[in-house]
Structure 1
Amino acid sequence: MAKVVYKIVEHDGGWAYQVDHVFSETYVSHDVARRAAERAAAEQRLSGEEAAISFQDAQGRWHEEQAEGADRPDTTVQG
């Protein structure tokens, strides 16, 4: 099972959560950013229906995949 870590970090004059090298929007406080990260992490754990997804990798290339609805990652929030 994949593990996704949401890290609370200072960003762009406020606070954000970061997953890998991607930042969320900027929030006014650490607490608000943490609550947003906790919501996002909880939603990511929810099972759903199988779906076609597209995503961009770190090199800017786009990929298309079929995502299984029950194949959800383990998530955690740090910071």
Structure 2
Amino acid sequence: MTDVTYKVVEHDGGWAYKLGDVFSETFPSHDAARAAADRVAQEQRAPGETEAIQYQDEKGRWHDETAPGSDRPSTDVVG
């Protein structure tokens, strides 16, 4: 299972949550950014439908796979 951790950080004159190097929109307070991160983390854990997917890898090759809707990450929010 994959682990996903959202981090609440100061950003652009306010607060944001961050995953890797990607920031969310800016929120006026830490509490607002934390609430948004908690909401996103909860949605990330929600199961979905099993679907066929296609994607292109870094070498330009296309792949067909089945993505099980129950294959959801473990999530956490820090900060």
Q: Distance in 2 between matches of 1:33 and 1:44?
A: 16
Structure 1 runs (4+) greater than 4 angstroms displaced: 63-66
Q: Is 2:75 the counterpart of 1:41?
A: no
Q: Distance in 1 between matches of 2:38 and 2:20?
A: 16
Q: Distance in 2 between matches of 1:53 and 1:16?
A: 31
Q: TM-score, normalised by structure 2?
A: 0.80
What displacement does 1:67 show? 2.9
SS in 2 for 1:47: coil
Where in structure 2 are there 5+ consecutive unaligned residues?
none
Change (3 A) 1:12 1:66: farther
Where in structure 1 are there 5+ consecutive unaligned residues?
none
Rg larger in 1 or in 2? 2
Aligned length in residues:
74
Q: TM-score, normalised by structure 1?
A: 0.80
Q: Percent identity?
A: 56
